[in-house]
Amino acid sequence: MTHLSDSGATAPATDFTPVRIRDAVRRILDAEAMPPIVQAGHPVLRQLAAPFDGQLDAAELGAFIARMREVMHAAPGVGLAAPQLGIPLRVAVLEDQYTIDPASSAARDREPLEFLAVLNPRYRSVGTETASFYEGCLSVSGYQAVVSRHRQIEFTYLTPEGQPNRQRLSGWQARIAQHETDHLDGTLYLDRAELRSLSSNAEHSARWAQPGIDEARHTLGFLPDQDNGTHAPSAQRSGS
């Protein structure tokens, strides 16, 4: 099934008009300082973002995407959705060029992701396999938790030039795409997380930074039926 996201939550649609969206973006572009990343509790993170439908002209859209990428790099992060800058518009940027140790890269199926700017993204699962790993969010600063997500997806979106595109993503690339699409539907990763796994960044670094989640799973008491981070339907946890 093709979907925006599958959290099961019902988010209200944004009440921003196209003019209000454009004006809010222009304020970000006119400011000398980078905009702050909106934190959990702000209503924009719990609303359905408006589909992109020409609210910005090509120059404004290009400048806004460039600013989003700048904020993402400065954070630093591997993705950023427009609502995280207070803009309820279905636009996101994704990029993962960070180097991690080979064991973690292999366990998490983490390959570099070239920069993508996407409009109106959607995804559908490919197969039934899911993967469970610690995940964080720039809008839930200071914490991480284990989230089960589809291991492979078909990701569809419009490019900034308006061209439709379709990609098959797997592993960490698929995780990033699902996380950012969720933001556009008013869903935070904590809505999907195993809450017993919730850890501060400091505790995660000190205790649970291993390539997989088995030690955290046994010690903190979550996902009792899984033997590793990747699992098939018999041990599947819902991605919602």
Helix, strand and coil content of the chain, in percent to the nearest 5, comes to 30, 30, 40
- Tell me the two tokens of residue 211: 């390539």
| Cα separation, 201 vs 223, whole angstroms | 21
Please classify residue 102 by burial: count the beta carbons closer than 10 Å to its beta carbon, then call 0-12 exposed, 13-18 middle and 19+ buried.
exposed
Q: Which long-range contacts (CB under 8 A, 24 or more apart) does 26-35 make?
A: 26/60, 28/64, 28/67, 28/85, 28/87, 29/60, 29/63, 29/64, 29/67, 34/67, 34/70, 34/71, 34/74, 35/67, 35/71, 35/85, 35/86
Choice among 180, 194, 203, 215 that is catalytic: 180
Is the separation of the CB atoms in 110 and 94 below 8 Å? no
Active site residue 180: yes
SS3 209: coil
CA 73 – CA 136 distance, rounded (Å)? 15
Q: What is the 3-state secondary structure (H, E, C) of 116-164?
A: EEEEEEEEEECCCCEEEEEEECCCCCCEEEEEEEECEEEEEEECCCCCE
What residues act catalytically? Answer: 180
